[in-house]
Amino acid sequence: MPLTDVQIKQLQPREKPYKRFDGGGLYIEVFPDGAKRWRYKYRFGGKEKRIALGVYPTVSLKEARNRHAEARGHHTAGLDPAEVKKAAVAARAGVNSFSAIALEWHAKFSPTWSESHTAKLLGRLKLHILPWLGHRPVAEITAPELLSLVRRIEEKGHLETAHRTLELCGQVLRYAVQTGRAERNCAADLKGAIPPAQKKHFAAIIDPVEMGHLLRAIDGYSGHFPTVCGLRLAPLLFMRPGELRLLEWKQVDFARQELRLPVEHMKRLQTEKNAGRGDIAHIVPLSSQAIEILQALHPLTGGGRYVFPGLRSKDRPMSNATLLNALRRMGYTGEEMTVHGFRHMASTHLHSLGYPTLIIEKQMSHADRNKIRAVYNHAEYLPERRKMMQEWADYLDRLREDARMKTGA
């Protein structure tokens, strides 16, 4: 039951401290000397933690509940209330903590990132950085301190995560320098301090016979119809998985037989790491086979925003794991095939079929590093790309038919 002021006033000291809970982890602790202190108990990172919210009656029941609600809000948002409190204390003292700067940086730039990238960076901050550096004045953080942080991750066998964590620390510290809260970015001193991570390639099937079997397996997949359509379009369009799942019906131009991805769509998929490559509107010519799939799907999802809406909400796109999970249910492991692997599949065979690298790269939407030139090149080589996309779809049909003839199905 929630506490009342009358009940709190009647609480008498005992030989040992004792507690009375108000709800949601908020409680008041009565000490042998008669002091009554507010506390908030919660769990973070798998551990039980608590923070002080003030002393009664200086902090009334109403004020304690307000402070509890604020702390609980931070906890719900995925932040450690204790670290937030430390950062606030440091800020009031005129000290800029790493936590305060990091969260300020994240809030400032996250509107330009994709939802998944925004969540990924916040998760990395909370899991790998803030518990150790959050309370530290940003101007006092040293290179050995950062090295200790990333080596802790490296020793667990997560070398790529260690590199990304160091990169993230560097971005926050660079922002601190730019805004006058620190004099230098000590992360730059750690270049080469940890071994390079081995580059991982997306698994892809590139053997023509196996490609035919994969296409046949996709045709026979009996999952959710939009998922089936997504799987059938993936090899035809060889778009990035994020581009495909975020596709909107307003970007499908049946008259022109093409997808027209505006600058805003491409920006949504960018991360800070590649943001400098240019905000490029991209055109994807549609083969007759792709048109047929989209027309079959339109009566089901055409009334909404997304071509591939989520199962739980039609106002959100399908999960980034939906198509990958479908491949797994079809029996293809992570070492055999990925959704991104359709791009590698297309690139490999289009080169072997004699198409120029320039045309293939343009269709892959590999951005021109000259930003001004890139903005105006979205329709470059469009007739050649249109021909290539149709011939690629016809080639896949031949592989599918070969597989059918060999299996007799």
Q: What is the pLDDT of residue 196?
A: 84
Q: Position 10: which residue type? A: Q
Catalytic status, residue 72: no
Q: What is the pLDDT of residue 375?
A: 42
* Residue 160: pLDDT over 90: no
Q: What is the pLDDT of residue 309?
A: 94
Confidence of residue 95 (pLDDT cuts 50, 70, 90): low
In the chain the domains, ranked by start, together with CATH numbers, are 5-76 (3.30.160.390), 91-190 (1.10.150.130), 208-407 (1.10.443.10)
Catalytic status, residue 232: no
Confidence of residue 158 (pLDDT cuts 50, 70, 90): confident
Catalytic status, residue 240: yes
Q: What is the pLDDT of residue 378?
A: 59
Catalytic status, residue 340: yes
What share of the chain in percent tops pLDDT 70? 88
- For residue range 183-218, list pLDDT tens digits in order: 899 999 998 888 887 655 678 899 999 999 999 999
Of the listed ranges 254-263, 284-293, 300-309, the least confidently predicted one is: 254-263
Mean pLDDT of all residues in 232-257: 94
Question: What is the arrangement of strands in the sheet containing 258-261, beginning at the earlier edge strand?
Answer: 252-253, 258-261, 282-285
* Residue 264: pLDDT over 60: no
Catalytic member of 43, 366, 373, 406: 366
* Residue 255: pLDDT over 60: yes
Residue 30 or residue 364, greater confidence: 30
Mean pLDDT of all residues in 233-259: 93
Catalytic member of 329, 376, 387, 398: 376
Mean pLDDT of all residues in 369-389: 68
Mean pLDDT estimate for the chain: 86
* Residue 300: pLDDT over 90: yes
Residue 315 or residue 269, greater confidence: 315
Q: What is the pLDDT of residue 366?
A: 61
Residue 354 or residue 265, greater confidence: 354
Residue 222 or residue 114, greater confidence: 222
- For residue range 4-25, list pLDDT tens digits in order: 999 999 999 999 999 999 999 9
98-109 and 115-124 helices cross at what angle (nearest 10)?
Answer: 180
* Residue 274: pLDDT over 50: no
Catalytic status, residue 343: yes
* Residue 369: pLDDT over 60: no
Residue 199 or residue 400, greater confidence: 400
Using the CB atoms, write b or e for 343-369: b if 16+ within 10 Å: bbbbbebbeeeebeeebbebbbbebbe
* Residue 278: pLDDT over 80: no
CA angle 229, 235, 239 (to 5 degrees): 90
Q: What is the pLDDT of residue 92?
A: 58
* Residue 409: pLDDT over 60: no
Residue 364 or residue 281, greater confidence: 364
* Residue 39: pLDDT over 90: yes
- For residue range 341-366, list pLDDT tens digits in order: 999 999 999 988 888 988 998 898 76
Catalytic member of 67, 126, 343, 378: 343
Q: What is the pLDDT of residue 272?
A: 35
Of the listed ranges 188-197, 261-270, 300-309, the least confidently predicted one is: 261-270
Residue 194 near residue 154, CB atoms below 8 Å: yes
Residue 248 or residue 372, greater confidence: 248
Mean pLDDT of all residues in 209-229: 92
Catalytic member of 20, 124, 158, 240: 240
Catalytic member of 20, 267, 268, 277: 267
Residue 165 near residue 153, CB atoms below 8 Å: yes
Mean pLDDT of all residues in 105-118: 80
Catalytic status, residue 369: no
